[in-house]
Amino acid sequence: MSAHRRPRTGGAVHARFRVREIPEITVTAHEAGAAVGDGLAAAVRRAAQRALADAGRGYLGGRVELRTPRVPAASPGRPCDRPAPGRRATERAVRRAAHRAVALAVAATLRGERGDARVRIPGH
């Protein structure tokens, strides 16, 4: 048995937010989590900016660390232009959970609490 185990998120998205004075949002993937694609990173960045603006702190920025479960890969032998069955729904569910997790993490940070949030993905 391996001495090092990678933490798994299971069917949840975990977001951690750290506030900075520089007004930009950076999004990184936790090294043990799945890679955060450009589309998800842009959506998470907008969600964090919106949460800061809604709280009246739009002049701040921060760093979002995101852990997401892996989305099922395309089936072998399937044309690249058509996604695997259920893949689009899974990506949408992960994106929605990531939006919610980031908003909760930003709100917790602004309240002075630990800036972590975990949101369960429906159906996982």
Q: What is the amino acid identity at position 35?
A: A
Per-residue confidence band for 3, with pLDDT thresholds at 50, 70 and 90: low
pTM for this model (two decimals) = 0.75
User: Which position has the higher pLDDT, 77 or 94?
Assistant: 94
Token pair 């949002």 is found at 25
Tell me the pLDDT of the chain averaged across its residues: 80
pLDDT digits (tens, 9 = 90+) for 26-76: 998 865 545 567 788 899 999 999 999 999 999 999 999 998 876 555 555
Residues near 110 by Cβ (< 8 Å), separated by ≥ 6?
19, 52, 55, 57
pLDDT at 88: 80
**Residue 18 is inside which H or E element, if any?**
strand 12-20
Sign of torsion, CA 90 35 105 46?
Answer: negative
* pLDDT at res. 78: 53
- Spatial CA neighbour of 69 closest among 107, 36, 104, 108: 36
Q: Quick one: pLDDT at residue 29?
A: 80
Q: Which of 74, 10, 55, 52 is nearest to 44 (CA)?
A: 52
